[in-house]
Amino acid sequence: MTAETSAKTRCIAVPCPLCTSDDFDPIHTEETTYFEQPISLRIVRCRKCQMVYTNPRLAEVNMAYEERETLDPQYIEHHMKTKQPVFTQALHRLQSLCPAPARVIDIGCGVGGFLSVARKAGYDVVGIEPSPVDAQHAREELDLIVHDTLFEKAELEANSFDMVTLWDVIEHVENPRGIVRRSAEVLRPGGWVVMRMPGATFHRFKARILGLWAGPSAVVYSPVIHLSFFSSQTIRRLLTEEGFDRIQVRLTPCEWNSSTWIANLLRASWHAGASILARLTGIHLDNLEVYARRVPSNGSKDV
């Protein structure tokens, strides 16, 4: 192993991203490869706040994004196809909360899928994307305003956006609290943050089921790129502590990422069943979609 590869695969122990406690229970371990090197990453649950997260995790979590030099056209087509239903469905809800021509910034916008859909609906859109090649594609092919940097480092005016969106992003970042806090800073009072993420309860359920077939090290969490796994309770806590109210947590289905109608039918059936279960029991066995309002400047906070 070269020194460069060793640096890329170096792992570090981290505290709970929600409460900073170091007291946890291991719940899953995954054996995988990264830059052609085998690594073992562990998923744990905080004993203090029940947050689920990867610990240890890679020290350089953005390396794979930053070093990508080209985009596969098939990847772009697949990404647009699978995300389109998610974005279209969410846009219907967004229009009731924050109608166009509101100013929207999409964090981790990738090749610009959501920005393109939102622009067509009349929104004033801007994107942030750490992968230079993804950002370049969004600018050159879709004529979008996209800055290739991290959200924390982007030069953005305070109180300048009506909505911040993070589609399948918060689970990838080293400091989810910092991302939520930064969202509050750039939002106008009364503005909205919208997030989509894999649910912690859903992943725990999948780990148990797949573990029966593939063993205890079944690939479920993908901890190389997924660092935090929120439940409806833990994401509510984070948003409340960072100055948000009117928090809504909904179930959202996995993308229709299969070319077979049978697989898509199974996904639709699962989502329908999970939605009924959530209404009856409060247990969320699917991905989560979260909406929260930055508390207005007059401080009139709602639950």
Domain parsing of the chain, residue ranges: 73-199+232-294
Amino acid making up residue 240: T
Largest CA distance in the chain: 58
pLDDT digits (tens, 9 = 90+) for 13-63: 999 999 999 999 999 888 888 877 888 899 999 999 999 999 999 988 766
Looking at residue 303, what is its pLDDT? 56
What string of pLDDT tens digits covers the 303 residues of the chain?
565 556 778 899 999 999 999 999 999 888 888 877 888 899 999 999 999 999 999 988 766 666 666 777 777 777 777 777 788 888 888 999 999 999 999 999 999 999 999 999 999 999 999 999 999 999 999 999 999 999 999 999 999 999 999 999 999 999 999 999 999 999 999 999 999 998 887 767 666 666 666 665 567 788 888 999 999 999 999 999 999 999 999 877 665 555 565 666 666 665 566 566 656 666 555 689 999 999 997 666 665
Looking at residue 204, what is its pLDDT? 73
Looking at residue 47, what is its pLDDT? 98
Tokens for 64?
Answer: 């794979």
Looking at residue 52, what is its pLDDT? 96
Q: E-strand spans in the chain?
A: 11-12, 24-34, 37-46, 52-54, 57-58, 103-107, 124-128, 146-147, 161-167, 187-197, 228-229, 244-252, 287-294
Amino acid making up residue 195: M
Region of 36 on the Ramachandran plot (φ > 0 left; ψ -120 to 50 alpha; else beta)? left
Counting beta carbons within 10 angstroms of the beta carbon of residue 170, is it exposed (0 to 12), middle (13 to 18) or buried (19 or more)? buried
Q: Which residues contact 215 (CB under 8 A, 6 or more apart)?
A: none
pLDDT digits (tens, 9 = 90+) for 260-283: 656 666 666 655 665 666 566 665
Looking at residue 92, what is its pLDDT? 87
C-alpha to C-alpha distance for 148 and 129, rounded to whole angstroms? 5
C-alpha to C-alpha distance for 146 and 92, rounded to whole angstroms? 23
Q: Where are the alpha helices (DSSP H) in 2-144?
A: 3-8, 63-66, 73-97, 113-120, 132-142
Q: Are the C-beta atoms of 302 and 245 separated by less than 8 Å?
A: yes
The torsion of the CA quartet 223, 224, 225, 226, rounded to 10 degrees, works out to 10
Amino acid making up residue 142: L
Looking at residue 268, what is its pLDDT? 64
Q: What is the DSSP string of 54-92?
A: ESSEES-TTHHHHT-----HHHHHHHHHHHHHHHHHHHH
Task: Say which CATH topology domain 73-199+232-294 has.
Answer: Rossmann fold (3.40.50)
Q: Are the C-beta atoms of 53 and 42 separated by less than 8 Å?
A: no
